[in-house]
């Protein structure tokens, strides 16, 4: 039996801003994690590759508004910063 990955603890070092902003990033990061885990069987951000996140941004957000995609992009940038990756996304 494995422990559930704690996204809040994972992002704690890079989350800044108001409480509402931090909660939004955390909520969106958990959604991203769940979608990637379901599709790619990659449970934690440590094993994600750029293609997994690109897939989420392109295919899971394709029918969302521009504003929603922008806010998810901000969350993805936080995840990349925490992973110390130099990923650049053009959505």
Task: For residues 82 and 11, give the distance between their C-alpha atoms in angstroms, rounded to a whole number.
Answer: 7
Q: Is residue 1 part of a domain?
A: no
Domain that holds residue 53: 17-83
Number of other residues whose CB lies within 10 A of the CB of residue 10: 19
How many structural domains is the chain composed of? 1
Q: Is residue 74 part of a domain?
A: yes
For residue 50, the surrounding DSSP H or E stretch is helix 50-55
With 0.85 as the threshold, say if the pTM is over it.
Answer: yes
At residue 1, the pLDDT reads 42
Q: How far is CA 68 from CA 28, 49, 50, 82, 84, in A?
A: 10, 22, 20, 21, 24
At residue 27, the pLDDT reads 98
pLDDT, block means (10 residues), the chain with 91 residues: 82 95 98 96 96 96 96 97 93 71
């Amino acid at each position: 039996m494995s422990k559930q990955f704690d996204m809040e603890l994972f992002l704690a070092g890079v989350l800044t801003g108001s409480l509402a902003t931090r909660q939004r990033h955390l909520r969106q990061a958990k959604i991203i994690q769940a979608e990637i885990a379901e599709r790619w069987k990659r449970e934690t951000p440590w094993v994600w590759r750029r293609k997994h996140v690109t897939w989420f941004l392109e295919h899971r957000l394709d029918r969302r508004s521009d504003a929603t995609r922008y806010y998810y992009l901000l969350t993805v940038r936080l995840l990349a910063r925490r992973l110390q990756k130099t990923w650049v996304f053009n959505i």
